Amino acid sequence: MSQKFIVNGGGKIKGEIEVKGAKNYALKALAASLLTEEKSTISNLPQIVDVPVMIELMKKMGAVVKETGPGEIKIDAKKISDNDLDPKEVRRVRASIVFSGPLLARTGEITIPHPGGDIIGKRPIDFFLEGFKEMGAKIFIDDLTYKIKTKGRLKGTKIFFPKISVTGTETLAMAATLAKGKTVLENCAMEPEVVCLLESLNQMGAKIKGIGSSLLEIEGVDSLKGGNFKIIPDRLETGTFIMMGLMNNSEIKVNNCDINHIGALLDRLKQAGAKLEIGNCYIKTIPQKTKLKATGIQTHEYPGFATDLQPMYTLLMTQAQGISMIHEPIFEGRLYFTDILNRMGADIIMCDPHRVIVNGPTTLYPRQIESPDIRAGVTLLLAAVMAKGKSTIEQAQIIDRGYEDIDGRLRQVGVDILRA
């Protein structure tokens, strides 16, 4: 059912906000628990909409999932199969594609509908299919469903990713942990969530070398032990809330963050003249007399500037003095939300689907708007927080896919927000 946020913007905000567990590690930890017949534990699991959707899919595969405490679950995937996966459920979450690696490695046969998720670009799955093929699997395509089969175990091989892919790296690495022989993955993603996943796999008995680099060497093993996944703080939430403090020129203390994971953002903010107090695991935004200086970005795979932080940064630049170029080479659909910001009063010119020029500063006005995807959605919500008057953000549940209790947490720092 469609929900909306009603925001009475333009008020003063101030206070502390707590960062939750990283969505893009939590969803992969769920998938990784299918690699073992033993029990696994996941803690600091964020209460976001994608988590129960993934858990429902796992239960349909035969996994037993029990809540054992706040944000903690135990998973028993002793017997699993891909029977009865509802294509509609699979299409709801892009991350469900990462089930394909563990499932294929454990069961030798999977049927997957083309996955869904955010509309931020074409988002093909050719790297996955090609990778499985290289590992000896046969692929049968029927309409928008893929049947993938392997006789015996997958085989170790050498795979080069034509583009750096987060879920591609994670899925093929998971499949390779149980393959026969050695798999070499080249041009891999190095995002902190990928690194944590690979480290957890090694704790389960996998033999992965090169973690944190773009070259992974994975010696297949016969079986893995149970996993213990502690979800790290979400760097994308950290970035979102810091930028919220800065765009409102407010004092916001963002707690429970890993500052080492947002180096590229901190560098750009420093260039823009932002005042921040940086502690061991917190960052506080300090109100300042002068406007931020317009400063361009180009998104890049980690450790570069995260594509997931681009929308909030673009909004931040509408409040900075001067002209900034935002270059988004990774996804071709991730700048269209700027059209909605223009409707709210921003002055943003689209050069092509990958580039916009932001002319700041501009006053934003309240509007009735709709959340297109998680990150653009939260950005429009932040725009509504700044715009003096009443805005409505439709499709609030899309924001809930990546941010736990966003309205509750914003209310704690003084935002006038209601869910309807």
The footprint of ligand EPU (CB under 6 A) covers 23-24, 27, 94-95, 118, 120-128, 163, 165-168, 307-308, 330-331, 374-375, 402
Taking the least distance from each CB to ligand EPU, the nearer of 360 and 403 is 403
* Residue found by looking up tokens 């070499």 in the block: 184
Taking the least distance from each CB to ligand EPU, the nearer of 5 and 99 is 99
Q: How far is the CB of 238 from ligand EPU (least distance, A)?
A: 13
Exposure of 165 by Cβ count < 10 A (0-12 exposed, 13-18 middle, 19+ buried)? buried
Taking the least distance from each CB to ligand EPU, the nearer of 13 and 137 is 137
CA Rg, the chain, in Å? Answer: 22
Question: DSSP strand E in 210-318: where?
Answer: 215-219, 228-230, 252-255, 276-278, 282-285, 297-298
Taking the least distance from each CB to ligand EPU, the nearer of 284 and 354 is 354
Q: How far is the CB of 388 from ligand EPU (least distance, A)?
A: 29
Q: Which of 180, 228, 182, 179 is nearest to 202 (CA)?
A: 228
Distance CA 96, CA 83 (A): 15
* Chain CA centroid to CA 99, Å: 16
Q: Which of 107, 181, 113 is nearest to 149 (CA)?
A: 107
Q: How far is the CB of 302 from ligand EPU (least distance, A)?
A: 7
- Are the C-beta atoms of 33 and 417 separated by less than 8 Å? no
DSSP string, 157-219: -EEE-SS--HHHHHHHHHHHHTSBSEEEEES----HHHHHHHHHHHHTT-EEE-TTSSEEEEE
Taking the least distance from each CB to ligand EPU, the nearer of 13 and 175 is 175
The distance between the two most distant Cα atoms of the chain, rounded to a whole number of Å, is: 67
User: Sign of dihedral through CA atoms 37, 115, 90, 136?
Assistant: negative
Taking the least distance from each CB to ligand EPU, the nearer of 123 and 293 is 123
Q: How far is the CB of 402 from ligand EPU (least distance, A)?
A: 5
Q: How far is the CB of 49 from ligand EPU (least distance, A)?
A: 12
Q: What residue type is assigned to position 196 of the chain?
A: C
Q: How far is the CB of 115 from ligand EPU (least distance, A)?
A: 9
Taking the least distance from each CB to ligand EPU, the nearer of 5 and 161 is 161
Q: How far is the CB of 11 from ligand EPU (least distance, A)?
A: 27
Distance CA 230, CA 300 (A): 26
CA atoms within 13 A on the CB side of 207: 14
- Are the C-beta atoms of 22 and 232 separated by less than 8 Å? yes
Exposure of 109 by Cβ count < 10 A (0-12 exposed, 13-18 middle, 19+ buried)? middle
Q: How far is the CB of 167 from ligand EPU (least distance, A)?
A: 3
Taking the least distance from each CB to ligand EPU, the nearer of 114 and 182 is 114
Exposure of 286 by Cβ count < 10 A (0-12 exposed, 13-18 middle, 19+ buried)? middle
Taking the least distance from each CB to ligand EPU, the nearer of 345 and 353 is 353
Q: How far is the CB of 374 from ligand EPU (least distance, A)?
A: 4
Taking the least distance from each CB to ligand EPU, the nearer of 29 and 374 is 374
Q: How far is the CB of 290 from ligand EPU (least distance, A)?
A: 32
Exposure of 12 by Cβ count < 10 A (0-12 exposed, 13-18 middle, 19+ buried)? exposed
